[in-house]
Amino acid sequence: MRSEKEMMDLIIDTATNDERIRAVIMSGSRANPNARKDIFQDYDIVYIVRDIDSFISDHRWVDRFGERIMMQMPEDKILPPALNDGRFVYLMKFKDGNRLDLTLIPVEKMGAIYKPDSLSVLLLDKDGIIGSLPPSNDSDYHIQRPSEKAFVDTCNEFWWICMDIGKGLRRKELPYIMFLYEQINRKVLLRMMEWYVGVKTGFSVSAGKFGKYFQDYLEKDEWDAFVATYTNADFKNIWQSLFKMCELFRYFAVHVADHLDFEYPYNDDQNVMGYLRHIKDLPADSD
């Protein structure tokens, strides 16, 4: 695997020697002083460029970065749909294990479509178009204190979707169940868990993408309870995990509500739990 120095030299030398590239900014975990360092960290790089069409009319120019396992160009895709805002992105995974996520931003559109966030390090600025950037930090990614409306809506969404999961379990509709369980209610649970971590830390930290740092901020029993919400394709186990997810959501939500002086919807909670227990125990031939 090429070293960080070799990769950074390649990235900066490419920009230095190409008059079309006017500035280079690094973002992401390699710009985050609080991020754990490992060999799987991406290189998240932005090139501010002139004449972007000369780059994207012939993609072979990125071959200079190394032999690839695979490349993805989101702005060249139909599904998922491209942003079509003027930028162009190359996501490249190389055979030596490195990954480079390279975004081209046209100079003339920079003000409209790109603003460096707090995790940004200026590597090159030929024309002074970026100006000075403050020391890189993850403050833009800290968990944000929710409004009471956001809290109430999140509780409402969770308990509503639980009823649909229960319906799917009675019908034994596995794809429907697992989509709602993992793609919908899992995200709602993670949002509440973020707020819980925010309350514990004074909203001064980031839980990481998809909550990857949750374990750092949860007690062992809380983490173990969270792990127990993951399930397999057995309907009996899904029922058990659903009830565990409900218990955990309640635990985190009540804590958030108590500390932020919000009102937790105990009535919805009790009604939905009663409904779930009822339909779970219905005879298979119940009409």
pLDDT tens by residue, 26-63: 999 999 988 888 999 999 999 999 999 999 999 999 99
Q: Which stretches of the chain are DSSP H helices?
A: 4-16, 52-56, 110-113, 148-171, 174-178, 186-201, 214-217, 220-227, 235-260, 266-280
pLDDT tens digits, 195-224: 999 999 999 999 999 999 999 999 999 999
C-alpha dihedral sign at 213, 39, 139, 86: negative
Decide which of 140, 169, 193 is a domain's last residue.
140
Does pTM surpass 0.75? Answer: yes
Decide which of 117, 140, 163 is a domain's last residue.
140
Q: 112 and 191 share a domain?
A: no
Residue 241: CATH number of its domain: 1.20.120.330
Tally the domains of the chain: 2
218: three-class secondary structure by DSSP = coil
Q: 184 and 267 share a domain?
A: yes
Q: pLDDT at position 149, please? A: 98
Q: Report if residue 252 sits inside a domain.
A: yes
Q: pLDDT at position 284, please? A: 75
d(CA 231, CA 248): 15
Residue with tokens 């990857």: 212
String of b and e for 133-161 (b: at least 16 CB within 10 Å)? eeebebeebbbeebeeeebbebbeebbeb
